[in-house]
A and B are shown apart, each in its own frame.
Chain A
């Protein structure tokens, strides 16, 4: 158990280091360019308007928030300090709304779109992949190229096709948004019904692509397993194919589980553009608007959120691996011994 604790400690230290590096990138990259955009925009705000009093107040807010009168490292420290207090600054475009508020409003939509789509896509894809590997000719020649083709289309491109054929041409589904604009966000039956109706197409475009990707991976893993000695042995013993498939599935699915854990990190950033296609009110839509309006605090908030989700998912995966797989613990011990 002490070894396990030290493993977790080490991983935690490593992720902390990565987080610091990510924060540095998040802070410095937009400021690296000559005539750094943030001070430029702030001065634009300050000089652009007529109502000088409001402008002055805006300008003062940003100068104070970014500490524009101080050196870059000092600005970075105050940025990190603000982060720890849960403050991501004030949005340029939706002044005076704080960035955290905007993100908190959008995040549930992205989660609700990605998480179920990942789970469903993963399960269906893996079953199809295993079947494709086992039933060589029938499924493999149809299913494999089909999944590969599905997986070659980015979510959002598939989304555009679905949007056109099912929502515009056939008029079966709504063309935009996460819910009927006449309704307000609430827990009423009407709102939930409307949200579910708007959910179908974005969900379908993420799920179909995920199924394709998972099926290809699972097929490959299963072929590896099917060619292994224990399968030959089982066959020579005359075991039924149902039983063999179960053995193969168990072994082949392990790496796929790792893949699933990593893809959980994409719950925030995985369908950014799909959200844009459907004007779905998630993080992708927020990021898109922020980019169009050069709203740097909001952009940096989005990128930070995406990074945090990925780091968090990877860390959780490492922990659960340490718990599940005795070989990882053994390897860690060996590494420590050398």
Chain B
């Protein structure tokens, strides 16, 4: 794993992506701790422009935008990371078992994967969200995670499939190791870079999905996220009221987070995929 990170660090793209993401992460982690106010505190008038006291002004309820932004970043990152983790775990488990076992388990798992690849995950998400009475941050992250694993599963399956005829895998099998041990010890380490790349992309898409759900007013009910900030700004006509400070910061922050993650992914691709390296 450390070896892997070292190699990632050799790519300038991945490096700059990591630096940007680390800055956002620090803002989301430290911001809510350092700022005393709660994001729901009404501290000022309606749509106060930015000032020395309130760096990014206030929103339609007179709540401080900068405070909301810090809390919103934290929520969005929480949802993205948890959803990405769940999707990557399910996808890796399904894909590696299907690819390694072959035969009937593969046929069954593959059909399930294909089924969920074709049915738009977003539709399932909307249907799930409208039926849930409580949409906390964790619940939202879980349902995003369990609807977005099929892509991971498909690519992991292909990778495992090409690896399972390797000698060291055969040796492990002859030595009597079980399926689980072989997958974990003999196969997964070789495709770790792919799994990490898939995870990075899943985090990005998890953050975007949360934002989209929030825009449809299906976001978390108990927390501020970058998506709910945009949704409020739109609903309370911040755009038409020229209150740019209410919506431009969350829009830019979302773009910066996903951009940094995709940049990391693209840099890793160049490191681990020799055919993409320029000659």
Contacts and interface: CB of A to CB of B under 8 A. Distances in A.
Q: When A and B form their complex, which 5 residue pairs have the shortest distance between CB atoms, in order from nearest?
A: A152-B259, A152-B258, A29-B127, A153-B255, A157-B251
A311 B266 CA distance: 30
B278 interface: yes
A33 B135 CA distance: 13
Contact of A18 (B119, B230, B233, B251): B119
B247 A310 contact: no
Contacts of A157: 211, 230, 251, 254-255
Interface in A136-194: 136, 145, 148-149, 151-154, 156-157, 160-161, 163-164, 168-169, 175
Interface string A221-236: 0011001000000000
A299 B259 CA distance: 32
Given A291-B216, A314-B118, A303 B123 contact: yes
A157 B279 CA distance: 38
Contacts of A14: 114
Contacts of A22: 119, 123
Q: Which one of B212, B218, B255 has the greatest number of beta carbons of chain A within 10 Å?
A: B255
A148 B258 CA distance: 9
13 contacts: A18-B118, A26-B127, A30-B130, A145-B263, A148-B259, A157-B251, A160-B234, A168-B242, A175-B239, A291-B126, A294-B130, A299-B126, A299-B127
B131 A32 contact: yes
**Chain A contact residues, majority secondary structure:** helix
B6 interface: no
A153 B251 contact: yes
A15 B115 CA distance: 9
B191 to A, nearest CB: 19
**Chain B interface residue count: which class?**
35 or more
B262 A152 contact: yes
Contacts of A321: none
Given A160-B230, A223-B276, A292-B217, 16 more contacts: A14-B114, A21-B115, A148-B259, A148-B266, A149-B259, A152-B258, A152-B262, A153-B251, A156-B212, A157-B251, A160-B233, A168-B242, A220-B276, A224-B275, A306-B120, A306-B122
Q: Which one of A25, A152, A153, A311 has the greatest number of beta carbons of chain B within 10 Å?
A: A152
A161 B248 CA distance: 7
A311 B114 CA distance: 12
B22 to A, nearest CB: 17
Nearest to A140: B278
Nearest to B218: A291
Interface string A60-74: 000000000000000
Contacts of A306: 120, 122-123
Contacts, number: 134
A132 interface: no
B230 A33 contact: no
A307 B119 contact: yes
Contacts of B262: 148, 151-152
B239 A152 contact: no
Nearest to B213: A273
A152 B275 contact: no
Interface of A: 14-15, 17-18, 21-22, 25-26, 29-33, 37, 136, 145, 148-149, 151-154, 156-157, 160-161, 163-164, 168-169, 175, 216, 220, 223-224, 227, 265, 269, 272-273, 276-277, 287-288, 291-292, 294, 296, 299-300, 303, 306-307, 310-311, 314
A164 B118 contact: no
Q: Which one of B123, B128, B259, B262 has the greatest number of beta carbons of chain A within 10 Å?
A: B123
A21 B122 CA distance: 15
Contact of A272 (B216, B217, B239, B255): B216
A35 to B, nearest CB: 8
B251 to A, nearest CB: 4
Interface in B224-279: 230, 233-234, 239-240, 242, 244, 247-248, 251, 254-256, 258-259, 262-263, 266, 269, 275-276, 278-279
A31 B130 CA distance: 10
A149 B123 contact: no
Contacts of B279: 227
Contacts of A25: 119, 123-124, 127
Contacts of B266: 148, 216
A156 B217 contact: no
Contacts of B114: 14
B251 A161 contact: yes
Given A157-B255, A160-B247, A175 B240 contact: yes
B215 interface: yes
Contacts of A314: 118
Given A161-B251, A276-B215, A310 B120 contact: yes
A164 B131 contact: no
A154 B262 CA distance: 13
Contact of A154 (B123, B211, B218, B275): B211
Nearest to A227: B275
Given A276-B215, A291-B218, A269 B123 contact: yes
